[in-house]
Amino acid sequence: MADLLIERLGHRGDGVASFQGRPVFVPYTLPGERIEAEVSGDRAVLGGIIEASPDRVAPPCPQFGVCGGCVLQHLGAGPYAAFKRQLVVDALADRGLAPPVEMPVIVPPNARRRATMAGIMAGKRPIVGFHERASHQVVPIEVCFVVVPEILAGKPALEALTAAVSPRKQPLDLTVTATTAGLDVALNGIVAADVDRLRMKLIDIAGQFDLARLSARGEAIVERRPPVVMIDEIAVVPPPGGFLQASAAAEAAMGDLVVAAVGKARKVADLYAGVGTFAYRLARTATVTAAEGDAGAVNSLERGFRFAKGRNRIMAERRDLTRRPMVEKELEGFDAVVFDPPRAGAAEQCQWIARSKVRTVVAVSCNPATLARDLRILVDGGYRIESVTPIDQFLWSSHVEVVAVLRR
């Protein structure tokens, strides 16, 4: 066992110590702690805490440290918020940017309406839960302080689905969304032949457990009721297995920031628009052009808009912005641009925005590193970063969402 002093937290939430002249990462430790650990390469396994940090708190979940879903339940609220902010500050600094960064908006526990769980067979028994950290092993979940109670209450249905598919080597991914009509469950990691073979059995399970919708490989097997989620008072049915902001509280916080930044803009481009997270809100005061590459998301956005009241026009377009970004000429006439890309970011699109005359740009991202790269492009093109606000919808993880506002 090595005697180590934890110097700081790494960007994945691990404590970082120096050992024989090199950094060593120790999960579940905090800055200032003296610990005993078994060191192997650049990783170490905590053996015991000699001197605990005053920032250490008792984690609420009895499975913390075994389940890999959370990595920071042992960190007090104030230092935790500071860590999330620092993730953003450091990512921006890596690109030579030092704008003002607010303290994060932190969602409450048990707020995630969408989560992906894993299901696998242990002999004849289905196990449903989350992966162990850095492992393919599945930890059965009995309690969870992150997801809404409806998701955990649906565990018997997930176990029945796992037993029906019977995965033994690779776990089945079960993406579960709590909707106003009940649970919407999407299966991934199941081959097409098994979907055909098990179709009637899966339909029976959906009925037995009163699922709103059950889908596999991106297609609905059965929809007993439309799985509606409310976005700014508009009923939206996301596509099977489609992207949705994980927390309604975080979505509302991001939406408020986006709308406030856009202000009185009359014509807005919403790029990577998804199912309309920001488009519906923006359409209260502006005409919106919404571009999104996923056909199912575009269909959901258009269907939701048909029943929207008191909104301006939303023109939705299916468009892969990575392959065919909105170019300078197309951006003429827009008062503001909002973009919320996947984790890979929007580098090519930002090159075109940087050449445009659009006055206001709002960037939303779940990846501070690619966001910083994209902001660097915009700053080099003549934009000034006005504000950066972290949104912590991935509670107790090392991930953070960000909303950045820029003006030309």
319-324: average pLDDT: 96
158-212 tens-digit pLDDT: 999 999 999 988 999 999 999 999 999 999 989 999 999 999 999 999 999 999 9
- Residues 12, 94: Cα–Cα separation, whole Å: 16
Q: Which homologous superfamily does the CATH classification assign to the domain defined by 82-108+247-407?
A: Vaccinia Virus protein VP39 (3.40.50.150)
What residue ranges do the domains of the chain occupy?
1-56, 82-108+247-407, 114-230
61 assigned to active site: no
> Which of 316, 284, 311 lies closest to 301 in space, CA to CA?
316
Domain 114-230 matching CATH 3.40.50.970: the answer reads no
Q: For residue 185, what pLDDT is reported?
A: 98
The model carries a pTM of: 0.94
Contact (CB, 8 A) for 214 and 202: yes
Of the candidates 61, 67, 144, 366, the residue annotated as catalytic is: 366
The pLDDT of residue 136 is: 84
- Cα separation, 116 vs 35, in Å, equals 34
Model pLDDT, residue 307: 85
Query: Quick check: 358 pLDDT over 90?
Result: yes
Average pLDDT, the chain: 96
Angle at 407 between CA 316 and CA 87, to 5 degrees: 90
Architecture of domain 1-56: Beta Barrel (2.40)
The stretch 29-44 carries a mean pLDDT of 95
Q: Same fold for the domain at 82-108+247-407 and the one at 114-230?
A: no
Check pLDDT > 90 for residue 134: no
Looking at residue 353, its pLDDT comes to 98
pLDDT digits (tens, 9 = 90+) for 65-93: 999 999 999 999 999 999 999 999 999 99
pLDDT at residue 169, rounded to an integer: 87
Residue 135 predicted with pLDDT over 90: no
Q: Are 135 and 187 in contact (CB under 8 A)?
A: no
User: Three-state SS across the chain?
Assistant: CEEEEEEEECCCCCEEEEECCEEEEECCCCCCCEEEEEEECCEEEEEEEEECCCCECCCCCCCECCECCCCCCCECHHHHHHHHHHHHHHHHHCCCCCCCECCCEECCCCCECEEEEEEEEECCEEEEEEEECCCCCEEECCCCCCECHHHHHCHHHHHHHHHHHCCCCCCEEEEEEEECCEEEEEEECCCHHHHHHHHHHHHHHHHHCCCCEEEECCEEEEECCCCCEEECCEEECCCCCCCCCCEHHHHHHHHHHHHHHHCCCCEEEEECCCCCCCHHHHCCCCEEEEEECCHHHHHHHHHHHHCCCCCCCEEEEECCCCCCCCCHHHHCCCCEEEECCCCCCCHHHHHHHHHCCCCEEEEEECCHHHHHHHHHHHHHCCCEEEEEEEEECCCCCCCCEEEEEEEC
Q: What integer pLDDT is reported at residue 405 of this predicted model?
A: 98
* Residues contacting residue 406 through CB under 8 Å, at least 6 positions apart: 360, 361, 362, 363, 375, 378, 379, 383, 384, 385, 386
For the ranges 95-99, 192-196, 272-276, 348-352, the lowest mean pLDDT is seen at: 192-196
